[in-house]
Amino acid sequence: MPVSHSVDREPSEATNSTANEHQNRPDDGDGDRPDDGLPINELFSSLQGEGTLAGVPSVFVRTSGCNLRCWFCDSYHTSWEPTHAWMSLDEILAEIESYDADHVVLTGGEPMLHDASADLLSELDDRGYHTTVETNGTIHRDAPIDLASISPKLESSTPTPERDPAGDGEWEQRHENARLDLDALTELVETHPFQLKFVVTDADDMPEILDLLAELRDAATVPVRDENVLLMPEGATRERLAETRTRVAELAMEHGFRYTPRLHVDLWNDAPET
Ligand SMILES: C[S@@+](CC[C@H](N)C(=O)[O-])C[C@H]1O[C@@H](n2cnc3c(N)ncnc32)[C@H](O)[C@@H]1O
Ligand SMILES: Nc1nc2[nH]cc(C(=O)O)c2c(=O)[nH]1
Ligand code: SF4
Ligand SMILES: [Mg+2]
């Protein structure tokens, strides 16, 4: 099993809470937080499960909070119902350094929402870590990133009333308005080594992917090659992946894109901290 250092949670969300005022600052507005640090949902060591670095031992730092609300989000407690545990940069770095890994994956939620993500990435860069940032591609920040793992969100991610896991479609319009930002996406691919990782369910997703790639190729001053494009099956559980993966693998072959498995789901299903 992956090993983990538990992150203290709000008492109402705690499974194993050790009250610690410093780590449990609520997200209650500006000015009530330490200057440096991040809302952290979990911090653990596992194998990178997705993308071109699949299988590489990595430490995962999962920030809380997202500007989108994908109906299928496999990290519900960073988006639909965000946890508020807080860690200073020193605490995060100390936990990362306690593991024997040289790859760090910063994810969320949407990690690029937070100013301090750029500070953390600089500190990791200074220490020689390889950094991957898992991002929805709507926010660009000036930060040292070894692999921008960008997962632009398709129309099929939108939480319509029928698909809303938490309500009756209250987020539908906000999600739809925010899910694609061509300027941010262009800047991300121009400033970092990158992969584009699309969550796919079936062939209906393909026209939107092809249109977006055409727009991005027009806008960007760097090549966006088919080998930079990965199709990932939608599925937060083994059962769901069994329904989607073969169809998605065949779509990747048909279009000359790469396929990425979700190794961690195969190995540990939907267990937290994996
Ligand atoms: C939880 S997100 C966090 C990073 C960022 N917010 C994003 O969406 O890229 C991490 C990765 O999981 C993917 N993901 C989330 N839910 C999924 C699901 N049900 N099936 C397949 N991939 C999923 C996202 O597309 C993204 O590539
Ligand atoms: N093992 C493992 N690999 C991953 N790659 C990207 C992940 C993410 O949630 O961003 C993830 C994750 O949650 N677990
Ligand atoms: S953008 Fe990422 S973290 Fe946010 S809701 Fe979608 S999958 Fe979840
Ligand atoms: Mg994940």
Domain CATH code at residue 166:
3.20.20.70
On whether residue 161 sits in a domain, the answer given is yes
The answer to whether 235 is a known ligand-binding residue is no
DSSP secondary structure letters along the chain: ---EE-----GGG-SS----TTTT-----TTSS-SS-EEEEEEEEEE--SSTTTT-EEEEEEE---S---TT-S-GGGTTS----EE-HHHHHHHHHTSS-SEEEEESS-GGG-HHHHHHHHHHHHTT-EEEEEE-SS-------SEEEE-PPPGGG---TTT-SSSSSTTHHHHHHHS--HHHHHHHHHHS-EEEEEEE-SGGGHHHHHHHHHHHHHH-SS---GGGEEEEE--SSHHHHHHHHHHHHHHHHHHT-EE---HHHHHHTT-TT-
How far are the Cα atoms of 23, 123, 144 from residue 98, in angstroms, in the given order? 18, 15, 22
The answer to whether 47 is a known ligand-binding residue is yes
* Other CB atoms within 10 Å distance of the CB of residue 27: 14
Give me the number of domains the chain comprises: 1
On whether residue 273 sits in a domain, the answer given is no
Its ipTM equals: 0.99
Cα(180)–Cα(198) distance, integer angstroms: 13
The answer to whether 70 is a known ligand-binding residue is yes
On whether residue 21 sits in a domain, the answer given is yes
pLDDT of the chain along its 274 residues, tens only? Answer: 455 544 543 333 322 222 233 334 434 333 346 678 999 999 999 999 999 999 999 999 999 999 999 999 999 999 999 998 999 999 999 999 999 999 999 999 999 999 999 999 999 999 999 999 999 999 999 999 999 999 999 999 999 999 999 999 999 999 999 999 999 999 999 999 999 999 999 999 999 999 999 999 999 999 999 999 999 999 999 999 999 999 999 999 999 999 999 999 999 999 999 9
For residue 197 and ligand 1, the question of a CB distance below 6 A is answered with: yes
Atom of ligand 3 nearest to the CA of 73: 8
* pTM for this entry: 0.92
Hey, what are 201's tokens?
Answer: 């369910």
On whether residue 274 sits in a domain, the answer given is no
What values do phi and psi take at 151, rounded to 5?
-125, 80
On whether residue 239 sits in a domain, the answer given is yes
| Cα 108 to ligand 3 centroid, rounded to whole Å | 7
Ligand 1 pocket mutation, candidates 67, 75, 77, criterion most atoms within 8 A of CB: 75
Structural domain boundaries, residue 148: 3-268
